[in-house]
């Protein structure tokens, strides 16, 4: 599935995805342990199955246990989400950056540093 056509993750899916990105590959109990909050084992497995259906996660089977791994990198997903925010909410990346500077979420010094890095 093309990353441009992937759907946005729900909050629960994103939480589980963060855990999978953190451990890179893992069995269900490892994913549950990596999730930052007290979420039930069965709930995490349900979310993992949904992530597989959405094309974010796949698994390989060892005996009767599945080891899960991401099909989409954290960076790919961030790029996709940031692109959607820039387009849907601001109309362009330039408008998004302007908004962040106006709200002092990004300082002018940071912006200058970023600009220099992009130029080199």
| Strand ranges in the chain using DSSP code E only, listed in sequence order | 26-27, 57-62, 65-70
Q: Give the integer Cα–Cα distance in Å for 109 and 100.
A: 13
Residue 5 has pLDDT above 60, yes or no: no
- Residues 55, 34 share a domain: yes
* Domain total in the chain: 2
User: Which residue has better confidence, 24 or 92?
Assistant: 24
Domain that holds residue 100: 74-119
Distance of alpha carbon 105 from the chain centroid: 21
**All residues at 6 or more sequence positions from 7 whose CB lies less than 8 Å from its CB, including other chains:** 54
Residue 35 has pLDDT above 80, yes or no: yes
- Residues 60, 86 share a domain: no
Q: How many other C-beta atoms can be found within 10 angstroms of the C-beta atom of residue 32?
A: 20
- Residues 90, 114 share a domain: yes
The tokens for 10 are 């729900």
């Amino acid at each position: 599935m093309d990353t441009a056509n992937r759907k946005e993750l729900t909050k629960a899916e994103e939480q589980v995805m963060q855990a999978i990105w953190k451990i890179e590959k893992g069995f269900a109990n490892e994913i549950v342990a990596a999730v930052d909050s007290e979420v039930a084992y069965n709930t995490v497995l349900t979310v993992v199955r949904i992530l597989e259906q959405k094309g974010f996660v796949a698994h390989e089977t060892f005996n009767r246990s599945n080891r899960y791994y991401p099909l989409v990198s954290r960076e790919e997903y961030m790029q996709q989400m940031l692109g959607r925010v820039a387009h849907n909410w601001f109309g362009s990346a330039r408008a998004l950056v302007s908004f962040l500077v106006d709200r002092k979420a990004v300082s002018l010094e940071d912006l200058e540093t970023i600009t220099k890095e992009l130029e080199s």
